Structures are given as C-alpha cells and as structure tokens.
Amino acid sequence: MLFSSAIFLFLYLPTFLFIYYLLPTRFKNAFLFAASLVFYAWGEGIVVLILLLSAGINFIAGRLIEQGKRTAGLWLSLVGSLSLLFYYKYSNFAVESVRGFAEALSLPGADNIELAAIALPIGISFYTFQGISYTLDIYWGRIRANKSFINYGTYVAMFPHQIAGPIVRYADIAPELEERHVTIEKFGVGAERFIIGMAKKILLANTFASLADQIFNAQLSDISTATAWLGIVAYTFQIYFDFSGYSDMAIGLGKMVGFDFKENFNYPYIARSIQDFWRRWHISLSSWFRDYVYIPLGGNRGGEFKTYRNLLIVFFVTGLWHGASLNFIVWGLYHGVFLLIERAGLGKRLERAPAAVGHVYTLLVVLVGWVFFRAVDLSSALAYLSKMAGLSASPADVAYPLSFFINTEVLVSLGLAVVLATPVYHRFQRFWQSLPAVAVREVVYSMGLFGLFIAAVMYLAADTYNPFIYFRF
C-alpha cells in the first residue's frame, strides 16, 4: 500500500486515525502495531511474518544482552538479521555471480548452478538496520532493552516509516513509545508536511518518472545527446522528489500520532562537495553507516590508509544495501572514490573556490552517478554515459530529439523542481509568516494546502502511473 494511493488516503488512514484517537492511551501502541501489520500485509501477505521474525530476533537479542549474555545476544542479532537480509535480498545475486564466474572459466556444471527466484520483502533493508542499531545501542550501553514486545514491535513495524524509512533509531523515539501527546497544532503540522510530501511525490516525481522511463527505455541510437542529458536530469529530480516526498509524508504521519522523526533530506542538490552531498542526502542512512560501520572500523583514526579503507568499505556496503546488482556496487564505490579525492586535497580547494564551482562539480558527479543507479545493468550504464558524452554516434534525424519531449508540463515541472530543490520555499514560508493579519494569512495558507491536496488527488485519479523507487530497497 502506497501513501500516495486512493485506498490509503480515503480508507486506511481515516479509519486508522478515527479509531486511534478514540482509544485510551494504554491501547494506542497495541493498535498502532496491529494496524501497521495490516498495512504491511495488505500488499505483502504472508511475508509480514518475515518482519515479525526479524523483530522477534532483535527483541530477544536485546533482552539477552541486558541480562548479561552480551556476546550471545549480539551474535543472535547480527547473524539472525543479516541472514534474513542476505537470503531474501542477495541470494539470487550470489548464485548468478557464481554461475557467471563458472561460465567465464568454462567450468563443468556451470549451467546447473541456479536458484528459484526469491521475492524481496518490501522494506527489509530498513527494518533490518533498525533492529541491528537497537541491539548495538544496548550492547554499547546507550539504551535499555524494551521489556514489552508490543512496544518494541510498534517501533519496528510502525507504518509511517516501515517500508521506506527514514531509518528511525529506537533511542530517538523511546520516550514517545512510553508516553506521547498530540496537540491540534502538532497534528496540523503533520498534515501540512504530509500534503507537501504527497504533492512532491505525485505532481513532480511521477511526472519526471514518466519522462525518465521513456528516455531510458528507448534505443540509444534513437535519442540525441541532449535527450540523454534530459533523461538523467529527469531521473535526478524523480529520485529526489520521490524519496524526499515519501520521507515528508512519513514525518508528517509520525507527527499525527505523536512521534517526531528526524529529517532525512536537507536540499542535497545545493551541496558544494560530495561529502556535503552525503550530509544532506538520505541522512538517516548515511548517519547509520557512520555510527555503526565507519566509526567501529576505526573511522579516521589510524592514519590515512585506514581512513581511506574504511570509507571505501562503507560506500561499498552503501551501494550493496541499495540492491543486489553490480550497478549499485559501482555507484557506491564511485561516490567513495570522490570522497577520497576530496579528502586528499580537492575538498579544501572547493572550499576556497567560488560557490558556483562546487555546485557545478557536485551536480555533475551526482548526475553521472545516477546513471549507474537507473540503468538496468552495467553495460547499459556505460553505453548511456557514452551517449551523454557524445561518443555514441546517432543519425541526424534521431527518432527522439530533445524537442520531442519538451512541452509545457515538462518545462513547468523543471522550473518548479529547480526552485523546490533549494531552500526558497522555506524563505517564502518565513516571509509569509511575517505578514500581518494572522487570521487571513492562516486561512489563505490552509486553502492553498487544501488546493494542493485536491490537485494531487486529481492527478492521481487521472493517471495510474505511480511508481516508488525505494520500495525495492
């Protein structure tokens, strides 16, 4: 079930909120847990048992660690959680890699190496990392284990962040699991955030998704170099408004039920370096890798060689986390290499250079990287990059020149995307709030939000194309 679907907006969410606010406080967690399982099972069915198994493993592991069986609890969490993740997400990739290696060496029986396709449970990467962070924080003495499986299960399964993040750490919401309050003002802020995120997802991300798919699915010989650039620009905006919009909706829904999730994006496309980009992009994931992989490996302690090694390990795993594909591994290492280059001296040069230089450099690096993320395989990514560089010849009268895709909707969407990918909207909010006539101002703003919601719903009703990139992670 998508947040940006009619069944969620007009059936699930109103029903959930109506019952949730009628219930006494002591029953709210149990209902939120049960409703979240229904939300997950709606599209995944019996696979909801994998989520419950993962939650059960880490709940027991946390209790074992706190009872003094520290090593046993930690190993249960790591082996149990990562085994589920590897089996469902990487076993097909591992078998395909072994078969490809065997075929390359002409080893006997290579054709017989196969495994039945295993479906990927939605959100498994997110709830696996949440479970591991929970047990590691108990192991390191940062938090106490929760004695109630209902409360812990609510944390893991909570539908606002369940299937696509942000990665919420138990320590950040532990007090709210025990006691939380929702005021009309907080609910209103949550509703506002949800509507803005929904508009970003439906009105912008979906528009760019259609454009990017058309271009990436075309034969490279049928598109021009300019069209190839338009395709990756469209995907660059698609993935940002898709994921940041979904994170906005998750944060908004969290506030509606009394939880304050941390921000997951901070205008990454205004970054002046790749290091700055990763401080702003998918913040919950990059901070997770920093705290639970990079620092335990030694961080920047132990000299330059170990620091570079640790960074490459982190970005190798970052790429692999996104998917069982060479493309994602290359994408992760690609970003890691640029971080090493910046650390070796480029970063200081960028700090001294005009801001525009850093912005252009970062955007070019990120745009090229997204080609690996979007292309179906490595050879397709390299061929697309060749087309972008003008190295792939095309006839003068290509089937899909740039003009084929340029229309009023695309131009308006591109203009809005450029503006909304910067902090301009927040500056407008501050200006708007500084105006006199508070009552009139609030009415006008509320009507504007309502109009935005209606526009998104109308767009959703008129078009069934509603993909979401991060579902596969």
Q: Which tens digit of pLDDT belongs to each residue from 367-391?
A: 999 999 999 999 999 999 999 998 8
Please list, in sequence order, all residues whose beta carbon lies within 8 angstroms of the beta carbon of residue 232, skipping any fewer than 6 positions away: 212, 367, 370, 371, 374, 384, 388
261, 164 in Cβ contact below 8 A?
Answer: no
- Closest-CA residue to 40 (of 135, 132, 124): 124
Q: What is the pLDDT of residue 101?
A: 58
**pLDDT tens column, 46-56:** 888 999 999 99
Q: Where are the alpha helices (DSSP H) in 105-169?
A: 124-139, 149-157
pLDDT-above-90 percentage for the chain = 62
Q: Which residue has the higher pLDDT, 470 or 2?
A: 2
Q: Which residue has the higher pLDDT, 235 or 466?
A: 235
* Mean pLDDT of all residues in 71-93: 90
Q: Looking at the predicted structure, is the pLDDT value of residue 453 above 70? A: yes
- In which band, very low, low, confident or very high, does the pLDDT at 464 lie, cut at 50, 70 and 90? low
Q: What is the pLDDT of residue 115?
A: 56
Amino acid, res. 167: I
Rounded to whole angstroms, the Cα distance separating 113 from 9 reads: 45
Q: What is the pLDDT of residue 88?
A: 86
Q: What is the pLDDT of residue 243?
A: 92
- In which band, very low, low, confident or very high, does the pLDDT at 11 lie, cut at 50, 70 and 90? very high
Q: Which residue has the higher pLDDT, 92 or 125?
A: 125
The CA distances from residue 340 to 122, 305, 310, in Å, are 33, 10, 10
- In which band, very low, low, confident or very high, does the pLDDT at 16 lie, cut at 50, 70 and 90? very high
Please list, in sequence order, all residues whose beta carbon lies within 8 angstroms of the beta carbon of residue 366, skipping any fewer than 6 positions away: 236, 268, 269, 274, 277
Rounded to whole angstroms, the Cα distance separating 414 from 337 reads: 30
109: left (phi over 0), alpha (psi -120 to 50) or beta: left
Q: Looking at the predicted structure, is the pLDDT value of residue 402 above 60? A: yes
Specify burial of residue 225 (Cβ count, 10 A radius: 0-12, 13-18, 19+).
Answer: middle
Rounded to whole angstroms, the Cα distance separating 85 from 317 reads: 13
**pLDDT tens column, 279-322:** 999 999 999 999 999 999 998 887 888 999 999 999 999 999 98
197, 256 in Cβ contact below 8 A?
Answer: no
- In which band, very low, low, confident or very high, does the pLDDT at 435 lie, cut at 50, 70 and 90? confident
Q: What is the pLDDT of residue 43?
A: 76
Q: Where are the domains of the chain?
A: 6-180, 186-462
**pLDDT tens column, 103-147:** 556 556 555 556 556 677 888 888 999 999 999 999 999 999 999
Q: What is the pLDDT of residue 289?
A: 94
- In which band, very low, low, confident or very high, does the pLDDT at 417 lie, cut at 50, 70 and 90? very high
Neighbouring CB atoms inside 10 A of 258's CB total 20
Residue indicated by tokens 């065997």? 102
Rounded to whole angstroms, the Cα distance separating 159 from 155 reads: 9
Q: Which residues are catalytic?
A: 322
* Mean pLDDT of all residues in 265-273: 95
DSSP-derived secondary structure for 246-308? HHHHHHHHHHHTT--PPP--S-GGG-SSHHHHHHHSSHHHHHHHIIIIIHHHTTT-S-HHHHH
**pLDDT tens column, 162-214:** 877 789 999 999 999 988 888 889 999 999 999 999 999 999 999 999 999 99
For the chain, the average pLDDT equals: 88
